[in-house]
Copies of this chain bind each other. A is one copy, B any other.
Amino acid sequence: MSSLSAFPESVFPSQPEPLTVMGGGLVGTLAALYLARRGYPVEIYDRRADPRQLSKSTEGRSINLALSDRGWRALEGVGISEQIQPVAIPMYQRIMHDQQGRLTYQPYGRENQAIYSVSRDGLNRALLDLAEVNSHISLHFNQKCQFVDLPNRHLVLRDTLTGQEQTRSFRHLFGVDGAYSAVRSAMQKTDRFDYSQQYLNYGYKELTIEAGANGTWRLEKNALHIWPRGQYMMIALPNLDGSFNCTLFFPYEGEHSFATLQTGAQVQAFFAQVFPDALPLMPALEEDFFQNPTSSLVTIRCYPWSVADEVLLLGDASHAIVPFYGQGMNAGFEDCSVLDDLLDQHGSDWHTVFAEFQRLRKPNADAMADLAVYNFEEMRDRVADPRFLLRKKIESKISAQYPDQWVPLYTQVTFSSTPYADAWANGQRQEQVMQRLMPHIQSEADYDQPAVQALVQQELANLAY
């Protein structure tokens, strides 16, 4: 068998090799669906219980994610997008809430361009349902990866219910087991493996805005709400049941921080002062605040992502990012699209597929990690600045007038498949242009002045991309 594996399947249409996917989360299950479509038998192992066996009482309340174009495209590839559409809530704009409860609005893109609030849990269940009925895929839950023996291609799994260990061999292993990946840990012990884990000094806490009467939404439904406060912020994403999932991103230490909010009264007083329009909508605030965990925010980078034709890391296992651009899941889903394209090109030459995957994808993952941290600063601080919002409006005008020459950074990341690294490079050039233009612009109307128009045309002529 192994002597044939250097040839594409089309040359030697051998029996497809079995594939092992460690991780049955969003990206692992989607990757398995892509691989199964090619006829490979796929075993999925996950250390957690089958989420479909758990109580559904928390559905609609679990963490929400923002699904955008890259994610939709990857879901379309396995024909699941129609199934997700009805449970995804389009968010056409950011709505900023200031400390007096006044609102400002910033569309995410052109009309009808939206990011979609989806339940992580619901999406995972839908993907697992598809995997369950796929005859090429077998699902194994409660299987914790204890050890990966890379040279001998076997792994040790412990059943978390019975405590029994089993050793399984593998031909090709996909490590899709998240930010704290066991597969990556095994690779990290090999020589010359670059690795970093970097935490923000911020934690996050999940909170809830209750539904109104009859499941109505007490804030604008089709928007992502932000309470930007400079050094911290709260956001809210809509649920189908009328509630919103809120997330408070807050320093661990300092004057206003998790360290200083220790009692219910302190939490109430703080929210009354800084989130006054949200507080009345959050009757469970104290309970949420003290019962939900404070979670940390990590960026993980590593390289290489593969070992010969043995192992390939996908998703958070190789590139966990902070959540502020809403791209963590989308980037992982795009991994599946890129892998699929490479399998089109190189067949079952796994060595080439794995090597090409990491070569193509690593710069984009690094750029996305930078973008995610950058967007945190924008969301918690800059969106509260009228000059920044004016700048965004001027950018929209430039983009509307010269759509081929100016695609805003957010649009490139969220509504295109432009590689993240290219988007980031373009965005940095646009940033410089805007820094030169804005001193000449005091209002939206100024954009139409001949002198400003001439400046814009000159800048665009210099922007060669």
Contacts and interface: CB of A to CB of B under 8 A. Distances in A.
Interface of A: 188, 191-199, 252, 296
Q: Which 10 A-B pairs have the closest CB atoms?
A: A196-B196, A192-B199, A192-B296, A195-B197, A191-B296, A194-B198, A194-B199, A194-B197, A195-B196, A193-B197
Nearest to A252: B192
Contacts of A193: 197, 199
18 contacts: A188-B197, A191-B199, A191-B296, A192-B199, A192-B252, A192-B296, A193-B197, A193-B199, A194-B196, A194-B197, A194-B198, A194-B199, A195-B195, A195-B196, A195-B197, A196-B196, A196-B197, A196-B198
Nearest to A295: B191
A433 to B, nearest CB: 28
Contacts of A196: 194-198
A370 to B, nearest CB: 15
Contacts of A192: 199, 252, 296
Contacts of A188: 197
Contacts of A195: 195-197
A396 to B, nearest CB: 38
A201 B193 CA distance: 11
Contacts of A191: 199, 296
> DSSP majority for the A interface?
strand
Nearest to A297: B192
A197 B194 CA distance: 5
A327 to B, nearest CB: 22
A226 B188 CA distance: 33
Nearest to A189: B180
Nearest to A197: B195
Contacts of A252: 192
A253 to B, nearest CB: 11
A421 to B, nearest CB: 20
Given A192-B199, A192-B296, A196-B196, 4 more contacts: A191-B199, A192-B252, A193-B197, A194-B196
A195 B300 CA distance: 10
A439 to B, nearest CB: 28
Contacts of A296: 191-192
A179 to B, nearest CB: 12
A403 to B, nearest CB: 41
A126 to B, nearest CB: 31
A198 to B, nearest CB: 5
A191 B197 CA distance: 11
Contacts of A199: 191-194
A186 B323 CA distance: 27
A376 to B, nearest CB: 16
A196 B252 CA distance: 22
Contacts of A198: 194, 196
A198 B197 CA distance: 12
Contacts of A194: 196-199
A424 to B, nearest CB: 21
A290 to B, nearest CB: 18
Nearest to A199: B192
Nearest to A301: B196
A67 to B, nearest CB: 28
A30 to B, nearest CB: 28
A188 B199 CA distance: 12
A196 B193 CA distance: 10
A193 B193 CA distance: 19
A217 to B, nearest CB: 35
A100 to B, nearest CB: 34
